[in-house]
Amino acid sequence: MSTWRRLHVKVRTAHGLLTSRWETQRHTWQYGHLALCQNLSTGRPLRNDFFKDLEAQLAAMRKKASDALPGSSWSPLEITPNLPPERADIVIVGGGVMGWSIAYWLKQKERVRGGVKVVVVEKDPKYSQASTVLSAGGIRQQFSLPENIHLSLASADFMRNINEHLGVINEDPIDLQFNQSGYLFLASEEVAHIMEENYSTQRYAGAKVSLLSPTQVKEKFPWINTDGVVLASYGLENEGWFDPWTLLNAFRRKAISMGVIQCCGEVTDFKYTTNVMSTADGDDVDLRRIRSVKVQMPNSLEYQPVECAIVVNAAGAFSAKLTAMLGIGFGPKDSIAGIPLPVEPRKRYVYVVHCPDGPGLDSPFLIDYSGVYFRREGLGGNYIVGRSPEEAEEPDTSNLEVDHQFFEDRVWPSLASRVPVFEKLKVKSAWAGFYDYNTFDQNGIIGMHPLINNMYFATGFSGHGLQHSPAGAICGRTDSGWKLYNAGLERPGLQAHSGQGTHAGEEHRIEELAPGLVTFTLLQMLNYYNFAHQSLVFL
């Protein structure tokens, strides 16, 4: 290269360096020490006020959205992190103890871990209105139906060995605080014969109960006033009370560890298909099949449709709202479609009272024939008391406010009459909760709706759901394993939804059947689904 060309290159290079240094100094003087953000169209640096204006505009958008939804923190620029999956095999609506128990037992029956995708949807993640945690937490075998007795026996056995079932590695062991102090029912002369009939049923079903005369009651519990008492029934085993929240959390923790997906949201709609079937009488019947569940996110306009094969209605007191979304109850009055699900919320009050001189450690869960009940709560002289109102006294269910006058007028007088020491009690606190009240016969509804061929029910237990949640579907334990009973299916209101003819007293044996509520019914459906679609892997 000639001397002139080398000199020309050096001059051009020096000019470029000087120009670049001058531009950098000018940018620092105007904008400070910032990285040069280049405009995509011109390549020129963007001014700081551009970003400030953009941030202000976005903040204004967020404020408008917040103002449009009072009390909401929703933002159009935020994405809900807990959206449910777009597809699932089973969607359980209701994350109370019943829903989580079903989820646990379904995963327990898997051949291959992860073979079935189960989603539990709960609209109240804090459980502030959940029937589970607002209950009195009792468990008893003293029922009039053998089915309920078998459920309670299985539940009690499950609770005694709960860490074998629901224990999770590297987590604290479960302490249900199960106080097996027994139930004591008191009967007047008008209902004593019913107590004797129930006693025979309970003993035949395997419950350990004993009938006591008023004299025997007074000898065992001298603090009870036996005036008006003709007969009493006392549970000797497998009865008492426990902590409802601990049981719920144990099922939930175990199910999640097994792969169950938890979703905080509310089911607001279903997408379904309808097929018309003609009956033998020539009437047309609409059969529905759910294709997807619409899950609304909390405090948000965002929703997620979840395609699924099976929906389990475990929504408790609000189960009828789900069937109403599918048109059940709005058909002709003389048809099945015109019959709504007979489950509605009923509000019940629970009062915590303090009485230092009250019954001691031997105190049972006492239920007087007037309807008043009480049980001991801890060791500090506290007791949980309550009473179910008469039909004409049913309180408003639009809220969970407590009626303290109900305690003064309807609870305390009867309680103090039966246990005189309670005349000196003081009310410490109170709360209200909902029963999923079955208006037909106050017993649980288990199985499939005849017009919705992939919705199964576990609802309507009318206050028994908590104690029956760990139990099998009408099951009793035998030496050879778990036995399913369809006993008593000839009774009005009880039907077998197995899709096969079932005779009264017929037994269906499934070796080592896990005591999961509605598990047997779901297994029948899932086995059919396996055969048709080869999608789910179940026993």
Q: What is the pLDDT of residue 54?
A: 72
Contact status, residue 226 vs residue 212, Cβ threshold 8 Å: no
Q: What is the CATH number of the domain that holds 421?
A: 3.30.9.10
Any domain includes 221: yes
Instruction: Note whether 34 and 128 are same-domain residues.
Output: no
Any domain includes 253: no
Strands 455-459 and 475-478: unpaired
Any domain includes 408: yes
Q: What is the pLDDT of residue 13?
A: 47
How many domains does the chain fold into?
Answer: 2
Contact status, residue 62 vs residue 69, Cβ threshold 8 Å: no
| Site of tokens 């899950």 | 295
- Strands of the 455-459 sheet, one edge to the other: 261-264, 118-122, 90-93, 310-313, 455-459, 445-448
Instruction: Note whether 30 and 136 are same-domain residues.
Output: no
Nearest to 522 by CA among 3, 17, 66, 91: 91
* DSSP states of 42-74: T-PBPPHHHHHHHHHHHHHHHHHHHHHSTT---
Q: Which residues pair with 231 in a beta bridge?
A: 187
Instruction: Note whether 232 and 132 are same-domain residues.
Output: yes
Any domain includes 107: no
- Strands of the 475-478 sheet, one edge to the other: 475-478, 481-485, 507-509
Could you say which of 429, 461, 487 is where a domain stops? Answer: 429
Coil, strand, or helix at residue 111? Answer: coil
Which backbone phi and psi does 17 adopt, to 5 degrees?
A: -65, -45
Rounded-to-integer distance, Cα 183 and Cα 140, Å:
7
Which backbone phi and psi does 475 adopt, to 5 degrees?
A: -125, 155
Q: What is the pLDDT of residue 311?
A: 97
Instruction: Note whether 12 and 155 are same-domain residues.
Output: no
Could you say which of 367, 399, 429 is where a domain stops? Answer: 429
Any domain includes 460: no
Could you say which of 402, 429, 456 is where a domain stops? Answer: 429
Any domain includes 366: yes
Rounded-to-integer distance, Cα 442 and Cα 195, Å:
18
Q: What is the pLDDT along the chain (539 residues), one digit of tens a residue?
A: 554 444 444 444 444 444 445 555 554 555 455 444 444 444 455 556 666 677 777 777 776 666 555 445 444 434 455 788 999 999 999 999 999 999 999 998 887 777 899 999 999 988 888 888 899 999 999 999 999 999 999 999 999 999 999 999 999 999 999 999 999 999 999 999 999 999 999 999 999 999 999 999 999 999 999 999 999 999 999 999 999 999 999 999 999 999 999 999 999 999 999 998 887 777 788 899 999 999 999 888 888 999 999 999 999 999 999 999 999 999 888 888 899 999 999 999 999 999 999 999 999 999 999 999 999 999 999 999 999 999 999 999 999 999 999 999 999 999 999 999 999 999 999 999 999 999 999 999 988 898 999 999 999 999 999 999 997 433 323 332 333 333 222 333 333 333 333 333 333 322 222 233 343 444 444 444 443 343 333 32
Instruction: Note whether 228 and 358 are same-domain residues.
Output: yes
**259 Ramachandran zone, left/alpha/beta (phi>0; psi -120 to 50):** left
Instruction: Note whether 244 and 355 are same-domain residues.
Output: yes
Any domain includes 234: yes
Instruction: Note whether 17 and 146 are same-domain residues.
Output: no
Q: What is the pLDDT of residue 2?
A: 52
Instruction: Note whether 148 and 3 are same-domain residues.
Output: no
Instruction: Note whether 18 and 160 are same-domain residues.
Output: no
The one-letter code for the residue type at 108 is: Q
Rounded-to-integer distance, Cα 169 and Cα 167, Å:
7
Rounded-to-integer distance, Cα 340 and Cα 330, Å:
8
Rounded-to-integer distance, Cα 69 and Cα 322, Å:
25
Coil, strand, or helix at residue 90? Answer: strand
Domain, as residue range, for 214: 124-248+348-429
Any domain includes 414: yes
Rounded-to-integer distance, Cα 456 and Cα 88, Å:
16
Contact status, residue 157 vs residue 150, Cβ threshold 8 Å: no
| Count of Cβ atoms closer than 10 Å to residue 288 Cβ | 20
User: What is the sign of the dihedral through the CA atoms of 235, 237, 241 and 247?
Assistant: negative
User: What is the sign of the dihedral through the CA atoms of 26, 27, 28 and 32?
Assistant: positive
Coil, strand, or helix at residue 110? Answer: strand
Round to the nearest angstrom and report the end-to-end CA distance of the chain.
87
Q: What is the pLDDT of residue 58?
A: 76
Verdict on whether the full-model pTM lies above 0.85 = no
Instruction: Note whether 7 and 155 are same-domain residues.
Output: no
Instruction: Note whether 17 and 136 are same-domain residues.
Output: no
